[in-house]
Amino acid sequence: MKNLKKLNIKNYISENGTNFDIELSYEVFGKPLGKAPIVLVNHALTGNSTVSGKNGWWSSVIGNEKLIDTNDYTVIAFNFPGNGYDGLIIENYEDLILRDIAKIFIIGLEKLQIEELYAIIGGSIGGGLVWEMAALSPNISKNYIPIASDWKSSDWLLANTRLQKQILNNSSNPVHDARIHAMLCYRSPLSFQKKFDRSLSDNNDIFNVESWLLHHGKKLQQRFQLSSYKLMNHLLSKIDITRGGEIKFEDIVSRVKGNILIVSVDSDLFFTDYQNRDTFYKACRIKDNIFFKTIKSVHGHDAFLIEHDQLNVLLSSVFSRKKVLDLDF
């Protein structure tokens, strides 16, 4: 059951000068606002604001006595405007870039009179949004945690989002077919081998890996609108905190006062471990409180949604009970 709250943001002017009236929907979990440290969770491409509870897509990480314990924290999650979860879409989505979403989220926090966050955390495009928010508001959070993501759309990511765009615009079954392709980016060859090992389906007329891909295509088709997929894919191709090299990455990072914890996945084909390590090596030359941890998994990009035990260990230093007790609330 959705428990969406809404904020009206009138006359938002996007980076390219387009005027938007935005209805920003969100959900709150755990302690009431103002009663505990606040954690902002940014969802991934097909995710939404329901991060915890029975149908929460990250309920293994967020909830009662979970890593991000809702007995100790206030957890807030905004929906990307136009993701369709609140029933609203944005037709002129190409007039937005991910920096706009970051600005809209920051305006939402201001409307909620939230001046400081304990942490901003997100995976995939949600992690890219963590970087964008850090660049825009370097003092808004004590901890910035981008997972399986990066501060820029790499050439590899641009190539894949272009292919996704072609499928979404030209396929007779666009959401279904685009999802099938995307699953090849979200997992790894070894993950497929370990899961399927060339096994056949029950009726022996199709390989299980094919059946699995068709299932995921159909499943997303039933719950995700074409316009929302187009929007999110577009935004995924528009991650760049340097504004096309206008500002040096190192200068941006040097202004971020809070801790930055980069979490990579060693088998990620989408936001590669190499890419994340390169970001860390550049940043740690000019920032002391930046840290790097790796999820070790065969599952590729989606490991941040699968390897819950590892994630709990890797992030325990940030979300430990002791950390909460040390805060003044």
pLDDT of the residue at 151: 98
Name the maximum alpha-carbon separation found in the chain: 62
**Whether 146 and 168 share a structural domain:** no
pLDDT of the residue at 325: 62
CA-CA distance, 269 to 154, in Å (whole number)?
11
**Whether 146 and 259 share a structural domain:** yes
Q: Are 326 and 169 in contact (CB under 8 A)?
A: no
CA 238 vs. chain centroid, Å, equals 14
**Whether 13 and 160 share a structural domain:** no
**Whether 57 and 123 share a structural domain:** yes
Final residue before a domain boundary, out of 235, 268, 289 = 235
**Whether 256 and 292 share a structural domain:** yes
Final residue before a domain boundary, out of 185, 212, 235 = 235
Q: Which two tokens stand for residue 63?
A: 């909830």
**Whether 129 and 265 share a structural domain:** yes
pTM of the model: 0.96
Q: What is the CATH number of the domain that holds 167?
A: 1.10.1740.110
**Whether 176 and 139 share a structural domain:** no
pLDDT of the residue at 204: 73
**Whether 118 and 264 share a structural domain:** yes
**Whether 141 and 198 share a structural domain:** no
Final residue before a domain boundary, out of 235, 258, 275 = 235
Write down the residue that tokens 């989606």 correspond to.
302
Domain enclosing residue 186, as ranges? 156-235
pLDDT of the residue at 321: 66
CA-CA distance, 197 to 37, in Å (whole number)?
46
Q: Are 292 and 277 in contact (CB under 8 A)?
A: yes
Low-confidence ranges of the chain (pLDDT < 70): 1, 321-326, 328-329
pLDDT of the residue at 50: 98
**Whether 231 and 286 share a structural domain:** no
Q: What is the CATH number of the domain that holds 9?
A: 3.40.50.1820
**Whether 160 and 127 share a structural domain:** no
**Whether 269 and 130 share a structural domain:** yes
- The count of structural domains within the chain is 2
Compute the residue count for the chain: 329
